[in-house]
Amino acid sequence: MHKNLKIMETIIPKTSTVLGALLKADFTTLWRNRRAVVMVFLVPIVILISWKDLVAKMGGPFALSNSLTYGLIAIGLMGYTNSIARDRDKGIFQRLRVAPAPNWTIMMSRIFVQLAMIALITTAIFIVGYDYDKITLTPTGYAVTYLTAIIGGAVYLALGQVIVGLIKNPETVNSTSRLVYFSFVIIGLFGGMGLLGKQIGQMTQWSPYGTVKTILAAGMTPGSWTMDTTNALLATLGYTLVFAIIGIKNFKWNTK
């Protein structure tokens, strides 16, 4: 029945090889979607430029941390969430899962791409902050901000995971993530500045928006780190943990 039996012996590829192939594909996909990436960058950059006058009054770290927080929210809620919802709906994950790639490598590759995005937006905000508002930080401030940006970005990635965990339809995921994103923007803009009353201001300060903004601002001037900042850091880690557990526990690899 069969003429030629050149069947290979079963080989389990190295995890690094699998992860490398996935990362290359995910970064290529991100690069080809650069118009969407620009949209994610647009809001924080516009806010930073338009707050030029506030920099003198509130300080550079205030403007940078607010702007960066919006960028992190956009990455987690719009970039990550929508790409996961689309690929799940198209069955792309199922195709990858029938290959000998452990499930965690598929997700890890996606998260690596988002971490790169976080580093990219942090750099972009530093550049725009310097270029337009002449904001400079100490070398330690720059280094710590990259770290706090990753910690802060993790909250919104985990929150995005909650959305794709609880909602299957990609259109609903898209509209929900936009709604949550704009809620954060509005609450951050008005609540954070105390324009919605003291109570809302307090709530905003301890919301995932406020705690991330606090650690980012303190990270930019490490000398200003206080007990409140440590509490904000702990709250950020707590939010990340809770969101990640809910998001991962409810996540389904397909929409059927």
Partner 1 sequence: MDNQQPESILKVTDLCVQYGTFKAVKEVSFDVRQGEIFGLLGPNGAGKTSTLSAIEGLIKYQSGSVTVDGHNAKEKPLYARAAMGVQLQSTSFQPELKVSEILQLFAGIYGVKLTNERLSAILKDISLEDSASKRFGQLSGGQQQRVSLVISTIHNPRLVLLDEPTTGLDPQSRRQLWERIEAIRERGHAVVLTTHSMEEAESVCDRIGIIDHGKVITIDTPQALIEKHKNDPQVIAVSRKGRVTLEDVFIALTGKTVRA
In whole angstroms, how close is the CB of 153 to partner 1 at the nearest point? 23
In whole angstroms, how close is the CB of 166 to partner 1 at the nearest point? 19
How far is C-alpha 74 from the chain's CA centre? 7
Q: Where are the alpha helices (DSSP H) in 189-256?
A: 198-205, 208-220, 227-250
Nearer to partner 1, 67 or 105 (CB): 105
Nearer to partner 1, 3 or 198 (CB): 3
**218: nearest Cα among 205, 201, 199:** 205
In whole angstroms, how close is the CB of 29 to partner 1 at the nearest point? 5
In whole angstroms, how close is the CB of 96 to partner 1 at the nearest point? 7
Nearer to partner 1, 44 or 170 (CB): 170
Residues 6+ apart with CB under 8 A from 117: 30, 37, 40, 75, 79
Asked if 69 and 213 touch (Cβ cutoff 8 Å), the reply is: yes
Percent helix, strand, coil in the chain, to 5, is 80, 0, 20
Nearer to partner 1, 100 or 197 (CB): 100
Nearer to partner 1, 2 or 198 (CB): 2
**127: nearest Cα among 64, 70, 188:** 64
How far apart (Å, rounded) are the C-alpha atoms in residues 219 and 227?
Answer: 13
**212: nearest Cα among 225, 229, 197, 198:** 229
In whole angstroms, how close is the CB of 140 to partner 1 at the nearest point? 39
How far apart (Å, rounded) are the C-alpha atoms in residues 210 and 61?
Answer: 14
Asked if 63 and 221 touch (Cβ cutoff 8 Å), the reply is: no
Residue ranges that bind partner 1, judged by CB under 8 A: 1-8, 10-14, 17-18, 20-22, 24-25, 28-29, 32-33, 87, 90-92, 94-102, 253-254
* Element housing 206 (H / E): none
In whole angstroms, how close is the CB of 175 to partner 1 at the nearest point? 22
Nearer to partner 1, 91 or 222 (CB): 91
Nearer to partner 1, 17 or 202 (CB): 17
In whole angstroms, how close is the CB of 183 to partner 1 at the nearest point? 30
**252: nearest Cα among 170, 156, 171:** 170
